[in-house]
Amino acid sequence: MLKQCEGSHAVAATVALCRPEVICAYPISPQTHIVEGLSEMVRDGTLPGCEFINVESEFAALSVAIGSSAAGARSYTATASQGLLYMAEAVWNASGLGLPIVMTLANRAIGAPINIWNDHTDSMSMRDAGWIQLFAENNQEAADLHIQAFRLAEEVSLPIMVCMDGFILTHAYEGVDIPTQEQVDAYLPPYEPRQVLDPRDPVSIGAMVGPEAFTEVRYLAHAKQMQALELIPQLAAEFQQQFGRDSGGLIRQYRMEDADTVVIALGSVLGTIKDTIDDLRDEGNKIGVLGITSFRPFPLTEIRDAVSHVRRVVVVEKCFAVGIGGIVSRDVRSAMRNRPQPLYCVVAGLGGRAITKDSLHQLFMEAIEDKLEPLTFLDLDWNAVNRELERERLTRRSGPIAENLLRDLGVVAARVG
């Protein structure tokens, strides 16, 4: 049923239809509305057969999910930003143990400086943790990905992060088609664990593994992600068949047919990029977009094939690895190994800075003319940066950087844009 609702509520309603049995939650913006919605559904009986546990930290949230999942219950939690970092040890543990927990990540920047707005630094910090990471472009996909995520997680016995842009999606009101319980039940069978804590058949889970088997255990985690690479398109196709909607999959292509220039990105910014590309197409430029839905496992072959004919690739990413540059672009570079085309990395939208069509238009025109630097920071205020560097050069005790910049810019309250 098409419903005008907040992204978080669409996700909450959809997660509820997946019949989770244990939900654990710790508040952190911008994820809170999701678990608030679920707690209400558990409380008022619309989500029966589910335990909702308010815990004392994100570390505990995921740890409770580890316990409940290992004991055979379909388990769900949600977090963002610092919360993901606080649960980091459990993040690796959940995937190492092969527990099919589904977690929504409402993507948000990581401090310091503390910042509640959107970028992808949080999920990227855990990109090697063994979780499958799926990125939603809009709220419909955010909702749909959860249904596919439970199915996929339980199929390969791996945890999945469904990443949706904080505020931009979580707090946006859009029309979302919330499926019926019958539809979801037909797609998502009850959880049949591969390993379970049960007195009727006692097993030890979480033993120490030494050099004699550690490599093999880690390789098997990789092998499962490779299985997921096969399964994700199948599950998306099946989803389309049953729900009549194109959601999920590994990558998503838009106006790529004869493109010379391809822009690659993840998440909600794809919408703005598509609008910009429509304009550029109208102006006669051969440009297209490739959205990465599955960042882990990374669809190397699909991306390699999709960009084989293009002249240049621009990766717009809401994250970067300090000291070297892009994160997504390096993975894309692996996909383009031994290919001569230039790859431009553009870091954009950090800490919620708006990525505007104007900026993108100018950026893509520079790319088309091959005038871009290999690494570009979109809309970076060079003057402010240089003034701070100058202050540091002149004064030993130059003071805290973030506060200096804010004073310099005259910003009195957090401002988006």
Partner 1 sequence: MTATTIKFYQTGTHTVGNRLLDPEHRSVQADMRRTNSLNSGHRACQGCGEALGARYAIDAAMQATDNQLIAANATGCLEVFSTPYPETSWQIPWIHSLFGNTAAVATGIAAAMRVKGRSDVRVVAQGGDGGTTDIGFGCLSGMFERNDDVLYICYDNEAYMNTGVQRSSATPGAARTATTPAVGDAPGNVFGQGKNLPLIAMAHEIPYVATAIVSELRDLEAKVKRAMEIRGARYIHVFVPCPLGWGTNSWDTIHIARLAKETGVFPVFEAERDRIVSVSKIRKQLPVEAYLRPQRRFAHLFSPTPNTEAIAHIQALADRNIRRFGLVDPAAETAVAAPVATGNP
Q: Least Å distance between CB 187 and partner 1?
A: 22
Q: Which is nearer to partner 1, 51 or 279 (CB)?
A: 51
Side-chain-side CA neighbours of 98 within 13 Å: the count stands at 18
Q: Which residues contact 175 (CB under 8 A, 6 or more apart)?
A: 2, 3, 4
Q: Which is nearer to partner 1, 1 or 208 (CB)?
A: 208
Do 129 and 166 contact (CB within 8 A), yes or no?
no
Among 44, 56, 182, 282, binds partner 1 (CB under 8 A): 56
Q: Least Å distance between CB 158 and partner 1?
A: 16
Binding range to partner 1, per CB under 8 A, among 16-24, 105-113, 235-243, 308-316: 16-24
Binding letters toward partner 1, positions 220-259, x by CB under 8 A? ----------------------------------------
Does 192 contact partner 1 by CB under 8 A? no
Q: Least Å distance between CB 205 and partner 1?
A: 4
Among 1, 2, 203, 322, binds partner 1 (CB under 8 A): 203
Among 190, 199, 211, 340, binds partner 1 (CB under 8 A): 199
Q: Which residues contact 412 (CB under 8 A, 6 or more apart)?
A: none
Do 74 and 193 contact (CB within 8 A), yes or no?
no
Q: Which is nearer to partner 1, 208 or 322 (CB)?
A: 208
Does 93 contact partner 1 by CB under 8 A? yes
Does 401 contact partner 1 by CB under 8 A? no
- Report the interhelical angle of 88-96 vs 58-70 (nearest 10°): 20
Does 55 contact partner 1 by CB under 8 A? yes
215-222: long-range pairs with CB below 8 Å, 24+:
217/96, 221/95, 221/96, 221/98, 221/130, 221/158
Does 79 contact partner 1 by CB under 8 A? no
Binding range to partner 1, per CB under 8 A, among 161-169, 204-212, 239-247, 270-278: 204-212
Among 70, 152, 259, 363, binds partner 1 (CB under 8 A): 70
DSSP bridge pairs for 317: 347
Could you give the CA distance from residue 242 to residue 187 in angstroms, rounded to a whole number? 8
Q: Least Å distance between CB 219 and partner 1?
A: 17
DSSP bridge pairs for 79: 105
Among 51, 155, 185, 388, binds partner 1 (CB under 8 A): 51
Interacting positions 142-181 with partner 1 (CB under 8 A): none
DSSP bridge pairs for 325: 321
Q: Which is nearer to partner 1, 194 or 309 (CB)?
A: 194
Among 27, 32, 71, 111, binds partner 1 (CB under 8 A): 71
Strands (E), 240-310: 251-254, 261-265, 287-292, 294-296
Amino acid identity, residue 417?
G
Does 208 contact partner 1 by CB under 8 A? yes
Does 54 contact partner 1 by CB under 8 A? yes
Q: Least Å distance between CB 42 and partner 1?
A: 11
How far is residue 194 CA from its own chain's centroid? 26
Q: Least Å distance between CB 21 and partner 1?
A: 5
401-410: long-range pairs with CB below 8 Å, 24+:
402/112, 402/113, 408/384, 409/381, 409/384
Do 79 and 103 contact (CB within 8 A), yes or no?
yes
Does 202 contact partner 1 by CB under 8 A? yes
Q: Which is nearer to partner 1, 30 or 193 (CB)?
A: 193
Q: What is the 3-state secondary structure (H, E, C) of 168-181?
A: CCCCCEEEEECCCH
Question: How far apart, in Å, are the Cα atoms of 75 and each of 50, 71, 335?
Answer: 9, 10, 34
Does 89 contact partner 1 by CB under 8 A? yes
Does 68 contact partner 1 by CB under 8 A? yes
DSSP bridge pairs for 24: 53, 77
Note the residues at the interface with partner 1 (CB under 8 A).
Answer: 21-22, 24, 49-51, 53-57, 59-60, 63-73, 75, 89-90, 93, 97, 197-199, 201-209, 213
